[in-house]
Amino acid sequence: MPVLPSIKMTLRNFILNLTILSSLLQFPLQANTAEVPASITPNPRMLSYSWMSLSTWYDMHAEDVALATEGSAPLVFIGDSITQGWNGEGQSLWEKYFEPLSAVNFGIGGDTTQNLLWRLKYGATENLDPKAVILLIGTNNLSFTSDNPETIAAGVIAVVDALSQSYPHAEILLMGVFPRSPNADHPHRSSIDRINGIISQLESRERITYLDITKKLAEPDGRLSKEIMPDFLHLSEEGYRRWTEAILPWVKKRVQR
C-alpha cells in the first residue's frame, strides 16, 4: 500500500502557500475557476528518451522504494539527474562524505516536479524517517513542459509539502534551481531567478533551509564554464565538489556518523 501524504497542513503553512501562490500568479485566487497546474499534479513518466527508457525509470523507482522500505537512511538526497549524478561524476565525493552517513540517493534523470510528486505518493517514502533531506527539483519543467516559472515554483512548493508530511521529523535543505545555459542573459536564467525568488520564501517555515549556490557554480560575470557544467546543465566532478562544500556544514549538524 502506498503511503499517502496527509492532507492536513498547519495554519501557518496554509497561509504561506496562499500568499506565495497569490503573488506568483499575480491575480486573486478564485475558487473553482482556476485550472490545477500540471506541475503540482502527481504524474508518472510517460515517455522514453534516448538517455533513459520508460522501463528504466520504473526500475529506478522500484529500487528507491526498496530502499525506502528498509527505512534505515538518516539522510535522503532527492531530485532529478543532477542529484542522480552523485552516482556518476560526483561518486568519489559521495563515497567520501555521504556514504559513511548511510545516505540514499533518490535522484532520477529527467524528473519534473509532477514526476517526483508521483514517486513520493507511490512508495518513495515508505518506512523512512530521515533526519535530513536535500531537495533539488524544477529545472526539467523548463525543458520538458510548458510550465511557466510561477507554476514551476508551485510544483516545488508541492514537493516540499509532500516531503514535510512524509518525513515529519526531517529538516529539509531546499536547493535553489541551479543556473543553466552558458550566458547570464539566456532566458532560462531569468526564469530560474523567478522560480528561486518564490521558493526562497519557504525558508520562513520551520525545518526548511533554503540554499542558492549560483555564485559557487557560475563565474563572476554569470557565465557557466565547461569545467563546472560541461553541458551547461549537469555538474562535473568539480561542480559536485563545490556543491559538497556548500552543503556539508548543514549536513554535519543534522546527521552524525
DSSP per-residue string spanning the chain: ---PPPS---HHHHHHHHHHHHHHHTS---TTTSPPPGGGS-------BTTB-HHHHHHHHHHHHHHHHH---SEEEEESHHHHGGGTTTHHHIIIIIGGGT-EEEE-TT--HHHHHHHHHTTSSTT---SEEEEE--HHHHHHS---HHHHHHHHHHHHHHHHHH-TT-EEEEEPPPP-SSSTTSHHHHHHHHHHHHHGGGGGSTTEEEE--HHHHS-TTSPPPTTT-TTSSS--HHHHHHHHHHHHHHHHHH---
The one catalytic residue among 61, 164, 188, 234: 234
Q: What does DSSP say about strands 171-175 and 208-211: parallel, antiparallel, or unpaired?
A: parallel
Q: Which three cell numbers stand for residue 132?
A: 535530513
The one catalytic residue among 39, 81, 191, 236: 81
Active site residue 188: no
The one catalytic residue among 48, 143, 185, 231: 231
Active site residue 231: yes
Active site residue 204: no
Catalytically active residues are 81, 231, 234
